[in-house]
Amino acid sequence: MTKRILFIIGLVLVLGCNSNTLIKNQNVGNALGTTYSIIYISDIELDYQQEIDSVFQVINQSLSTYITTSDISKINNGDSTITVDHMFQEVFKTSSEVYEASNGYFDPTIGVLANAWGFGPGKQLKLDSLKVDSLLGYVGWDKVKLNHDGTITKTHSELRFDFNAVAKGYAIDRLGTLLDTKGITNYLVELGGEVITRGQNSVSGKQWSVGIDDPQVEVGRQLKQIIVLEDKAMASSGNYRKFRIDPETGKKYVHTINPKTGYTKNSNVLATSVVASSCAEADAYATAFMAMDLDDTRNLLANQDNLEAYIIYLDERGETQEFMTPGFKSLIVNSDN
């Protein structure tokens, strides 16, 4: 009898050790000029900080215009012998697709304009209409080519790439791929407000939920919407946090640059959020929608089955309005739909 009791106790202990206790692992830090938070669920304690740092390192070396020795900086400075890596090539391909779909409103060759307007690593210029027109001659996705051998051809040596509107989303995709290869099936990666998720928050038994900032709250943060995401990515863009004030004139210049006119664009669109299968794609489209007219954005979304969007804008009377695709509406927490 005593042996039976000991056996039962031993069996309970073994079963207890094998119970599906889930652990929420988290890595937080600073990278790519912003902050990140990575949550991944497992049945044992894990720490992928070293691998996460490696992802940021290789992306910076490939795509950062703020690192003078990066591939993109060398290409921008006229080195035509650089053979770009698969990351540069994938970002180039995504940029080409969104450039075509947006009728040229997403164009990462605006680097010379980003510098001139004070939103890049290069020298800010004092601009007038003649100067802007001259700089536009060094802008245009049709003026660059990714060759079969991995080199880049530019029609003008002054032309400069600026992948800031897609590289952050791409970095999130790469971090997601890292976790995929580790066998992690439930995670949330957030970098500067952009997000990708897989599975759900299995610790709480709930779906991953993410918030969207109210662009009209100037002090602090207030959420406009909360949505659930499963196996999707979301990126947002807006001029409410990224702008500069001219110290001499007091004029506000937003970071959205219209690649067709060369000017920064203060439009009636206040903020955009896009849900897609990849964060690079969501990031690029969110930027494009800031530069596009709202009607053109609606037409594009009507012909894209893989995108959902939420846009906050001002109508003709200056009143705040919202547009969202039906698919985006279905993601809203506590929605009546």
- Which residue reads 């219209």 in tokens? 258
18 within some domain: no
Contacts 24+ apart (CB under 8 A), 83-86: 83/149, 83/150, 83/151, 84/146, 84/150, 84/151, 84/152, 85/58, 85/150
336 within some domain: no
> One digit per residue, pLDDT tens: the chain, 337 residues?
444 333 333 333 333 444 468 999 999 999 999 999 999 999 999 999 999 999 999 999 999 999 999 999 999 999 999 999 999 999 999 999 999 999 999 999 999 998 887 877 777 778 788 988 989 999 999 999 999 999 999 999 999 999 999 999 999 999 999 999 999 999 999 999 999 999 999 999 999 999 999 887 766 778 999 999 999 999 999 865 544 444 555 443 345 788 898 887 667 889 999 999 999 999 999 999 999 999 999 999 999 999 999 999 988 888 999 999 999 999 999 745 4
31 within some domain: yes
- Largest Cα–Cα distance in the chain? 98
* Amino acid identity at 292: M
Q: Contact at 8 Å (CB) between 268 and 315?
A: yes
78 within some domain: yes
Q: Which domain holds residue 239?
A: 23-329
Structure-token pair, residue 76: 């921008």
- We report the CATH number of the domain holding residue 84 as 3.10.520.10
12 within some domain: no
- Which residue reads 């995401």 in tokens? 229
For the chain, the domain total comes to 1
4 within some domain: no
| pTM for this entry | 0.87
335 within some domain: no
Helix (H) or strand (E) holding 195: strand 194-198
67 within some domain: yes
